[in-house]
Chain A
Amino acid sequence: MKSKFLHRHDWELLLLVIAMLVNLGGFLTQELGTAPREGAGWRRVDTEAVQRLIEAGDLSDHEALWYQPVAPSGTGKGR
């Protein structure tokens, strides 16, 4: 469209439509961003529960704490 076809009323309509579209965009962003959905969003870890398990000894905060050294045995040669 060439600008010579745009009169004052054309601009008014255009601006009104643009304003409405911006508003609709804001509405969708707000609604879809906060729509409750089970399982959506970041996983929340209950760190306090984890700490309680560690303190109770049910969970280890050390790597390899549960491994015990194994006594070396024969190679089985000749058996």
Chain B
Amino acid sequence: MEKSTALSAVAMPRGGLNSAVYLAILVLGAYSQIVQGLLIRESLVVFYGNEVSLGAFYGSWLLWITLGSLALVWWRRRPWVRHPLPTLRWLLLSLPLLLALQIVALRAVRLLLDVSSTQFVPLGQLLLSLFLDTLPSGLAIGLVFPLACKLLQPEPEVRPPAAVRAISWLYMMDALGALLGGVSFTFILIQWFGVWRTLGVVALLLALVVWLLGRQAGRKRNWVAPAFLALAGSLLTATPLAHRLGTWMEQLRFATLQPGLELLDAVETRYGHRAIARYGNQYSLVVDGQIAATFPLPRATAQEAAFFYAETRQAKRVLMFGGLASGLATELLRYPLERLDLVLTDRRAFEMLRPWLPETVQKSLQDPRLHLHFQDGRRFANRLSDQAAYDLVLVLGKTPASAYANRYFTLEFYQRLARAMAPGGVFCTRVSAASNYLGREVRSYAGSVYHTLRQVFPDVALRPGDQVTFCAARRSGVVSEDPDELKRRYLALPLDERPFPAEGFHSLLQPGHVAWLRAQLEAEPAPIDRDSAPVTYYLNMLLWGKFSASWFVDWLQGLQRLGPWPYLIPLGLFVLLWMLRTLMEATSATRRQQQAASFTMVVLGLVAMAVQLTLLFSYQSHVGFMFSRIALLNGLFMTGLALGAGLLGVRLARSPRAGLWLAGLMGLMAAALWWLPSLLDLVARAPGTRQELLYLGLCLAAGLLTGTGFPLGVEATQEDTGEVVASSGLVQGADNLGGALGGLLTGTLLVPLLGVNGTSHLLALAALSTLPPLLLARWTSVEIPWLVRRGHATFPWRRLGWLLLWLVLVQYGWNLVRWAQQPPPLVRFDQRLLQEVSGSHAFVERSRPFVYYLGADEPEALPQRPETASLSTLAAAPEVRGYAGPINLLLAVDRNGRLLGVHYVESQETPSYIAGIEQWLAGLAGLDLSQQGLDLTRVDAITGATVTSQAALEAINRSARAVGQTAFGKDFAGGSQAARPAWLTPKFLATLILLLAFFPVYLSGSEPARLAYQAASLLVLGLWLNTLVTEIDLYNLSRGHWPDWSANPQRWLLLGFVLVTGLLFGQVWCGYVCPFGALQEFLSRLGRRLGLRRYARRPVESRLRFLKFLLLALALPAAWWSGESLWLAFDPMQYAFAPPWQGWAAGAVMLALGGALFFVRFWCRYLCPMGAFLALSNKLALLQRLAPRRRFDHCDLGVRNEYDIDCIRCNRCLTGRDYGVSHRHKVELNFKR
């Protein structure tokens, strides 16, 4: 998909040259579809039919086209752009060669990536290889379209009134070319010409176009290069060269897919690539690069036939989907059947395979009981009569590894077959697994099939092995897992010969093994596989990742659990922040409209590509032969795009309310996308050909709807821009960038993780997200003074600042959703751990009123005479919190109240503070809780972690109390020494007084009072209590971890103070209260007296002050993602008041304090992340007017505005002394708004 930059200004057609240009665009449109069709088919083969390659392809393809367009905008002044004809000709001449190279590269990709046969190409390498392979053609097409448009454009660059009509012609040519290319490729070229002859045809057409362009431009000897190209094209088209080249390329590709096998024959069917190969006496059927069946394997086939037939009650009518090559159909004909219907998808593949089939199989084709049906399996099933009454249905040759194959494992398929089966009929299928271990991914895979089957066939018998076989029936007692039963049925059959030994059933169905498999599959909460929500995309991605050792499998599973939120959060935040920025910076109406329209164009491109891919995926799920129809589907979509733009969009764009029309269109699109899943459900129920036609119509309609929006967006972005090439190039770039993003996201993430339904709903919300910006842009007079006042920019990097804010908020949003998905706390434990903590050997779990375990040495003693009771502190005392939240400990007490053992499970406490907690807990074992609980008078705290120690002890006390009553009816830990309430401690009282004193001191504006206050803060909060508000608090609060109010009210006080004063006055904590800031202030004053004070020039100084925001934006998300608050522990204020310092910590403290001697508040101004966060409150400062009015001309640190984000509210400017104003340099920095 690409959009022509026909939106640039063009002149009325001027004679032959313009006609040649229109023809060039027509051919280019066709060429583009052919390229896409060829490369997608190639990638499906080398990547084993994995449709993820679709998303990777489209994402890369559009990205390169975007870059090509943008490069042209960048180079628009260059001579070769201003006079584009020679460049255009050379580009067109190079296209066939580029395509040939791309095909060769894709066929050899496994060789280039050094991926061995049967190995899955790692997903990262799959993306990279497609990214690189699409570069040549994508970049070339990105350059060619704007060049062609430039060729039609007269000098100077103005927009004549007839430009709109000419734009329509360009769209039409492009659309017509796309349609012609799609249709001709699908029905003529690839079927009758093959790959290389098609390339020859393309070369001939392009040669003609290049010659015409040169001739019309009056160029001499313009025929030479086209003649060479035409010659090459003729050689490919009209000579056996194409056949030889095709054979050689086929061998090359096959050698990378299945080296060592001798390729006998290959054919491309509508469903994919089929090949037959040989190794010694073994033949293999290779489907899309993977071995689907190997034959002859007489013993294995005899075993399978015996097994499946024995599962039935002497079946008479059998239906099989595939199974000819393996010989199973032939083997089944030995049994007393009346009829065997064998469904083969493609006659061409059968004809290719037939000569190589074993003699027995070839003979069986003459058996009158055997009926071959060459049809898509799903279509065949849909046409089955309910009176078909099959006794046995086998679907064995499929693996749900692609959307195409997944159609044979869905609920709808099973339901359809069930209706065509006899009441006692049996359905059998199988999936790859492992004989004695099911990993998480394989278990999900097999579990999905199992649970889906049971929705239709309640009785499912399992047969373990390297492939798990399922035999299911609606009636109970039909299928069996009992080897003796199957043996009895088998021996009762009237057979002349039994190639399978009856005792073999015992090795197929070992009871323990079957029971183990059933337990594994029952335990797995696997999703039900449906046509509208195929699980294969997701599960196959997991398996693919596992088999190819891709690192992001765990990440993918985590992402799947988060639903649509990872995509909605960035989008929603972007819209909100854009609106906030627009209002704060009082953006002009024109600029507002351009930005809103540009954003809409990106979303439109994203939605358009995403819809197209979603339809392709849905088509593959329901119809199945996307492999052969891809170019047609693309071509129709492109046609719809151009028709929508050329017919409707251009007309609406002439209206003065183009922006409103665009908003209305996006609303309509959102509604259509929301209802798309319902529409697809209806289409799914339509019969065969009608279904396919409906899909074609949907592609056209989707293109129409999205195409209508493009001229509207262009109209909105082009106002007041002088350079039309620039603006049209940018519009195309925005559109294609959105398309690239849409392609990549949809194919690799959205459809696999959300399914078609979820993806459609998400796209609807994405379309809706464009409405607020468009409507805000429409109401040009909207201005909120309260926000405008706060729009002052302190730093030169406005965009970077907003980008950082967006990035941090997005990551916070993602983490919030991730944390919400985290499993509940661990309160259940295994026997080994319980034994280790309690010493008992037998346990009984109880769950009321909380989860706990009764233990005893002998099982007979339970539950009446328990000797021990074990539980998690989170089960009985979740309200107890340490420094950063609850602490999970596993403890055990005996019936006499003795603490038997305590084991640390998990917590959010800072790891370095609780490094020795396990040893500390081990020391508690043996303490008597019968009379009195534990406290710090009985037990020493962990060094440096008093709060944590207190919380742990309190949690143990409460848990022991609870379990003592519940398990033994006794009171334990009842009499711990009553500690003084925390708010009556000197620590709390001193803090309270200090904070209350802040208000009169601040509001007075007195410098001596401020200095005295800072000295008091330094003494009390710093040197005495070592209590500061730091980045660790920020992290804990962001995680929802807050200290226990009753145990630590001082921290509540401090945090509340920071919050309230920040809202009311701004960053006053830094200016007045922070003890580390106070220390630096005093050092700075000392430095001035010693003559050490320095002032850097404003450009350097102001840029460096931005560093602290950067540090915050890096460190805070790192802590969120890792769960490790140590990422924020580098601030020297966290340990400045707890000497001795060692190593790097000492260096940080010394540098910070030493720096303060030379530069005012060195750490605060340039590097403090906490200060950066608190600086945001300067944009609020709701009651700032109550504070003393600052005198900005007396600020030596560059603050110039009421809502300057970097004012730490030190109020030094009030007294007019000691700011070194005379040191301020004359150079001022002017920032462009």
Q: Which residues of A contact B (CB under 8 A)?
A: 1, 5-7, 9-10, 12-14, 16-17, 19-21, 23-24, 26-28, 30-32, 35-37, 73-79
Contact = CB atoms under 8 A, between A and B. Distances in A.
B1167 A17 contact: yes
A28 B1100 contact: no
Interface stretch (B410-418, B462-470, B1126-1134): B1126-1134
A74 B1151 contact: no
Contacts of A76: 498, 500-504
Nearest to B1111: A24
A31 B1227 contact: no
B1103 A17 contact: no
B334 interface: no
A28 B502 contact: no
B1144 A27 contact: yes
B1151 A23 contact: yes
Contact of A28 (B912, B1127, B1162): B1127
B912 A35 contact: yes
Given A20-B1152, A23-B1147, A23-B1148, A13 B1167 contact: no
A23 B1162 CA distance: 15
A58 B986 CA distance: 63
Given A5-B1097, A5-B1099, A9-B1095, A78 B1130 contact: no
Q: Looking at chain A's contact residues, is the secondary structure mostly helix, strand, loop, or mixed? A: helix
Contacts of B1155: 16, 20
A37 B1096 contact: no
Contacts of B1130: 24, 27-28, 31
B573 to A, nearest CB: 28
B1114 to A, nearest CB: 11
Contacts of A28: 1126-1127, 1130
A61 B413 CA distance: 51
Contact of A16 (B503, B1144, B1162): B1162
A78 B501 CA distance: 9
Q: Which 4 residue pairs of A and B lie closest in terms of their CB atoms, listed nearest first?
A: A76-B501, A27-B1144, A13-B1096, A10-B1100
Contacts of A9: 1094-1097
B491 interface: yes
B498 to A, nearest CB: 6
Nearest to B1163: A20
Contacts of B478: none
Contacts, number: 104
B1148 A79 contact: no
Given A13-B1094, A16-B1151, A20-B1155, A30 B1143 contact: yes
B976 to A, nearest CB: 30
B1144 A30 contact: yes
A74 B503 CA distance: 10
B1124 interface: yes
Given A13-B1104, A16-B1158, A35 B1099 contact: no
Contacts of B1096: 7, 9-10, 12-14
B1015 interface: no
B1145 interface: yes
B790 to A, nearest CB: 28
A39 B1127 CA distance: 19
Interface in B453-481: none
A64 to B, nearest CB: 16
B interface residue count range (under 10 / 10 to 19 / 20 to 34 / 35 or more): 35 or more
Contact of B1100 (A5, A36, A74): A5
Given A28-B1126, A32-B1127, 19 more contacts: A1-B1100, A5-B1097, A5-B1227, A6-B1097, A9-B1094, A12-B1158, A13-B1100, A14-B1104, A20-B1167, A24-B1167, A26-B1147, A30-B1144, A32-B1126, A35-B1124, A37-B911, A73-B503, A76-B502, A76-B503, A78-B498
Nearest to A6: B1100
Contacts of A32: 1124, 1126-1127
B628 to A, nearest CB: 47
Nearest to B1107: A17
Interface string B565-583: 0000000000000000000
Which of A12, A13, A14, A32: most chain B CB closer than 10 A?
Answer: A13
A36 B501 contact: no
Contacts of A30: 1143-1144
Interface string B1093-1117: 0111101110110010000000000
Interface of B: 491, 497-504, 911-912, 915, 1094-1097, 1099-1101, 1103-1104, 1107, 1124, 1126-1127, 1129-1130, 1143-1145, 1147-1148, 1151-1152, 1155, 1158-1159, 1162-1163, 1166-1167, 1227
B1153 to A, nearest CB: 11
A49 to B, nearest CB: 16
Contacts of A79: 491, 498, 501-502
Nearest to A32: B1126
A14 B1099 CA distance: 12
A77 B1107 CA distance: 84
Which of B499, B1095, B1130: most chain A CB closer than 10 A?
Answer: B1130
Contacts of A24: 1130, 1144, 1148, 1167
B730 to A, nearest CB: 29
B247 to A, nearest CB: 45
B1100 A14 contact: yes
Contacts of B501: 74-77, 79
A78 B497 CA distance: 7
Contacts of B1145: 27
Contacts of A19: 1151
Contacts of A26: 1144, 1147
A30 B1094 CA distance: 32
B1097 A10 contact: yes
Contact of B911 (A7, A10, A35, A77): A35
Contacts of A1: 1099-1100, 1103
A7 to B, nearest CB: 6
B1124 A13 contact: no
B498 A13 contact: no
30 contacts: A5-B1227, A6-B1100, A7-B1096, A9-B1097, A10-B1096, A10-B1100, A10-B1101, A14-B1096, A14-B1104, A16-B1155, A17-B1107, A17-B1166, A20-B1152, A20-B1155, A24-B1144, A24-B1167, A26-B1144, A27-B1145, A31-B1129, A35-B912, A36-B915, A37-B911, A37-B1124, A75-B501, A76-B498, A76-B503, A76-B504, A77-B498, A78-B498, A79-B498
Nearest to B503: A76
A68 to B, nearest CB: 16
A63 to B, nearest CB: 17
A5 B1103 CA distance: 13
Nearest to A30: B1144
A8 to B, nearest CB: 9
A13 B1148 CA distance: 15
Nearest to A28: B1130
A18 B503 CA distance: 79
Nearest to A31: B1126
A9 to B, nearest CB: 4
Contact of B912 (A12, A16, A31, A77): A31
Nearest to A75: B501
A32 B1152 CA distance: 22
A48 B1096 CA distance: 64
A64 B912 CA distance: 48
Nearest to B1148: A23
A10 B1094 CA distance: 9
Contacts of A13: 1094, 1096, 1100-1101, 1104, 1159, 1166
Contact of A17 (B1099, B1104, B1124, B1129): B1104
A9 B498 CA distance: 97
B1125 to A, nearest CB: 10
A79 B501 CA distance: 8
A17 B1167 CA distance: 8
Nearest to B1151: A20
B1097 A7 contact: yes
